[in-house]
Amino acid sequence: MTALRYGAALILILTLAACASVPKAPLPDGLTNQPPAGWAGRSAQLAQLTRWELQGKLAVKQPDDSGSAIINQWQQMDGQYHLLLSSAFLGVGRTELEGMPGYLSLTMPDGKNYRSNDPQALIQAATGWHFPLESLTWWIRGLPAPGDDFELLFDKSGELAAIRQQGWDIRIDRRQSFIDGYPALPARITALKGDRRIRLVITQWQALGKQT
């Protein structure tokens, strides 16, 4: 039994040493990756907000193509989303996006419609924007997207300040109490990845019907 315990202890030490050898990005000053008390309940409450509608503005900056758009409507019904954007950059008129995880229908201002099982690739091909729409439906609520590793960073007051996921650094610049009965939601987020930047400013946000 002594040898068995020694072997188990050795494996544990080697495992911890291996984990410690994996380099991690340093934490920004004033932030911690230790969740505050009550974060589990707060995040669970935000995750239950699955049916909502918002309006705001969107700006994308990248080396080869940049632009901005007005979000006339972003309606989310559980996994299904419907966005109406207007932008001189995308073309005179409106751009419409309808989809769900793993599927997107994109209608451009000229009336041409494109469909794909790879939403991000379709958006990039049609507009030139590197735009992780399906993940943004989570980040915009101040939550990590499911299915990928992530790191959460909190400020001194215990508020979520940033999410690191999929190579993106998503910073919550401002939050506001939009919906009664829910924690304050992001009013402005900035997502950074290398020399790419996505900024979302939310001006109105409301819940739709009964939440699941």
| pLDDT tens column, 48-63 | 999 999 999 999 998 8
Residue 119: pLDDT over 70: yes
Rounded to the nearest 5°, which phi and psi values hold at 11? -60, -40
> Do 138 and 148 form a contact (C-beta atoms < 8 A)?
no
Structural domains in the chain?
31-207 (2.50.20.10)
> Across the chain, what does the average pLDDT equal?
85
> Do 199 and 139 form a contact (C-beta atoms < 8 A)?
no
Percent of the chain at pLDDT exceeding 90: 67
Q: Which range, of 13-22, 67-76, 84-93, averages the lowest pLDDT? A: 13-22
Non-local (6+) Cβ contacts of 211 within 8 A are 48, 49, 50, 51
* Average pLDDT estimate for 68-75: 94
pLDDT of res. 110: 87
* Prediction pTM value: 0.82
Confidence label for 109 from pLDDT (cuts 50, 70 and 90): confident
